[in-house]
Amino acid sequence: MLASIEKTPLTIFREMKLFIIVWVGQLIASIGSSITAFALDVWVYEQTGSVTQFAFITLANTLPLILLAPIAGLLVDRWDRRWTMILSDLFATLATVAIGILSITSQLEVWHIYLANTFSAIFVAFQIPAFIASISLLVPKQHLGRANGMLSLMNGTARLLAPPLGGVLLGIISLQGIIVLHLTTVFLGIAILLLLRFPKANTPAVAIEESSFLKETTYGLTYLVARPGLLGVLIISAFSIFLVGGVQVITIPLVLSFAPVTVLGTILSLFGVAVLAGGLLIGIWGGLQRNMNMIYGCMFLTGVSLVVAGLQPSVVVFIIGVFLFFLIRPIIASSTQAIFQSKVEPLVQGRVFSIKGAMEAAGLPLGYIAIGPLAEKIFEPLMAADGFLAKSIGQIIGVGPGRGMGLVLAIAGIFTISATCIAYFLPRLRLVEDELPDVVDGVALATPAAGIAAK
């Protein structure tokens, strides 16, 4: 780790050159896709006037990632990963083209959006594991933290820029123009991939017995079960995303219980800034030498941030708590991903990362479903002025609208702190980086000379 710290920024850039070029193309495509998603969300709301419709959009975007994960992972391991990314991006744009045609001919309906999102998500289920599984081939091990931080930075940038840019562009070039912009950004990302050649893994494939298709598609799960340390890291990652879903579903009604809608918009923007700052921080820093220490520390701080956010009906207190929560999230994501990339054999990463992605993707809607109704139906009545907890806990955190949701955040924070402390004493989890062999060093890593080549 010391050698990595002493390297100059120019040296680091040279060692990560191939990944950075791919990352720039994917960043451009991601911004275009996010702007289009925002514009379509606005269109759906204008047509229906229903916030509930967004739940169906989330389901359409998430369900294919979960259902197709085993098959997608198996095929990603068998296919060329660069071409998997190219073809996935290309086929996903067909849905965008269809939406554009329907919009131009004034035949676009809400159900078309759901169908298009589902169609695109089918190919995203292949594109994401192919991209993530390629990272360990594109950068040396010591830069995995930086690379994963850059992924968080990419996602944070796209989410932060999409609402303001989408709002401005809707008024200037309308939905049809935004779709053209989306297609342009995606094709630019594809063009960059076409000009590159990914290094090949020179490690032998993990021995897999000839078996049924069912066993092959569930190999990723079998692989994790046989390695409880990795499975534990995945559970932590999925739980952190579950908490994100809970915070997101609570934020709007909770903030509106003690602040006007104008303040809510500012708060939501600050959370985007927090994600962006967290990704930038880990991207530049690279993280600690031991990723598990980073994960334990960040999960503990996540719990503290949730307790703070739910403590009082105060804009300042809530911003401090949840800003810290979203600032930490990219660091957790980067650290967990770095462990997987350095410990999972490259030739089976597609299968393992697909299962990982499916479990993490399920965490977000589960957070919506579990924490939202729990806060609204149970804890809000308990924390009403005449509620059962008004004269006990209510004397500490206050009573009335929003205090039940605040209590849920505080309880989630206490649970997170407790679970993190317990998890620290699980040896298979705490020592996962020591007990599992490092598989990255045996891979043909990217070099400046081998990086860019016309295909």
Does 34 or 209 have the greater pLDDT score?
Answer: 34
User: How far, in Å, CA of 233 to CA of 212, rounded?
Assistant: 28
The amino acid at 273: V
Q: In the block, which residue shows the tokens 């960059």? A: 192
Provide the β-strand partners of residue 196: 452
Do the domain assignments include residue 380?
yes
The torsion angle over the Cα atoms of residues 323, 329, 335 and 340, rounded to 10 degrees, is 180
Do the domain assignments include residue 239?
yes
Do the domain assignments include residue 30?
yes
In the predicted model, is pLDDT for residue 51 greater than 70?
Answer: no
Q: What is the pLDDT of residues 110-139, one digit of tens each?
A: 899 999 999 999 999 999 989 988 888 898
User: How far, in Å, CA of 47 to CA of 157, rounded?
Assistant: 28
Q: Which of these ranges, 66-80, 370-384, 387-401, 432-446, has the smallest mean pLDDT?
A: 432-446
Would you place residue 49 in the very low, low, confident or very high pLDDT band (cuts 50, 70, 90)? Answer: low
The torsion angle over the Cα atoms of residues 188, 192, 193 and 195, rounded to 10 degrees, is 140
Would you place residue 44 in the very low, low, confident or very high pLDDT band (cuts 50, 70, 90)? Answer: confident
Does 229 or 50 have the greater pLDDT score?
Answer: 229
Do the domain assignments include residue 207?
no
Return the percent helix, strand and coil in the chain, to nearest 5: 80, 0, 20
Does 396 or 445 have the greater pLDDT score?
Answer: 396
Q: In the block, which residue shows the tokens 């925002």? A: 38
Provide the CA 377 distance to its chain's centre, in angstroms: 29
Alpha helices in 143-196 (DSSP H): 144-194
Check: CB of residue 283 under 8 Å from CB of residue 152: yes
Helix 69-78 with 110-138: angle, nearest 10 deg:
40
- For CA atoms 419, 336, 242, 350, give the dihedral sign: negative
Provide the CA 159 distance to its chain's centre, in angstroms: 11
Does 105 or 50 have the greater pLDDT score?
Answer: 105
Give the three-state DSSP class for 249.
Answer: helix
Q: What is the pLDDT of residues 259-288, one digit of tens each?
A: 886 777 678 778 878 888 888 888 788 777
Most confident of 115-129, 209-223, 341-355: 115-129
Alpha helices in 344-402 (DSSP H): 349-373, 380-382, 394-397
Instruction: Write down the pLDDT at residue 204.
Output: 46
Check: CB of residue 342 under 8 Å from CB of residue 144: yes
DSSP letter (8 states) at residue 344: S
Instruction: Write down the pLDDT at residue 447.
Output: 33
Q: What is the pLDDT of residues 133-174, one digit of tens each?
A: 888 889 887 888 888 888 878 887 887 788 778 878 888 888
Q: Average pLDDT over the chain, rounded to whole?
A: 85
Check: CB of residue 160 under 8 Å from CB of residue 290: no
Instruction: Write down the pLDDT at residue 213.
Output: 63
In the predicted model, is pLDDT for residue 233 greater than 60?
Answer: yes
Q: E-assigned strands of 53-98?
A: none
Task: Record the tokens describing residue 408, joined without a space.
Answer: 């849920």
Among left, alpha and beta (phi > 0; psi -120 to 50; other), residue 385 is alpha
Region 404-428: mean pLDDT is 95
Rounded CA Rg of the chain: 22
Share of the chain above pLDDT 70, in %: 90
Most confident of 187-201, 296-310, 388-402: 296-310
The amino acid at 51: V
Do the domain assignments include residue 319?
yes
Give the three-state DSSP class for 81.
Answer: helix
DSSP string, 297-326: HHHHHHHHHHHHHHHSS-HHHHHHHHHHHH
Number of H-type helices and E-type strands within the chain: 21, 0
Phi, psi (rounded to 5 degrees) for 392? -115, -85
Do the domain assignments include residue 368?
yes
The amino acid at 447: T
Instruction: Write down the pLDDT at residue 71.
Output: 87
Give how many domains the chain has, as a whole number.
Answer: 1
Give the three-state DSSP class for 134.
Answer: helix
Q: In the block, which residue shows the tokens 């770095």? A: 338
User: How far, in Å, CA of 184 to CA of 170, rounded?
Assistant: 17
Task: Record the tokens describing residue 414, joined without a space.
Answer: 């206490």
Q: What is the pLDDT of residues 363-407, one digit of tens each?
A: 888 888 888 888 888 999 999 999 999 999 999 999 998 899 999
Q: Going by C-beta distance under 8 Å and a sequence separation of 6 or more, which residues neighbour residue 395?
A: none
DSSP letter (8 states) at residue 16: T
Residue 114 lies in domain: 2-201+213-437+447-451
Would you place residue 88 in the very low, low, confident or very high pLDDT band (cuts 50, 70, 90)? Answer: very high
User: How far, in Å, CA of 74 to CA of 85, rounded?
Assistant: 15
- CATH for 134: 1.20.1250.20
Which among 415, 414, 417 is positioned nearest to 296, based on CA atoms?
Answer: 417
Angle at the Cα of 336 from the Cα atoms of 86 and 311, rounded to 5 degrees: 120
Does 247 or 201 have the greater pLDDT score?
Answer: 247
Side-chain half-sphere exposure of 354, counting CA atoms within 13 A: 31
Do the domain assignments include residue 208?
no
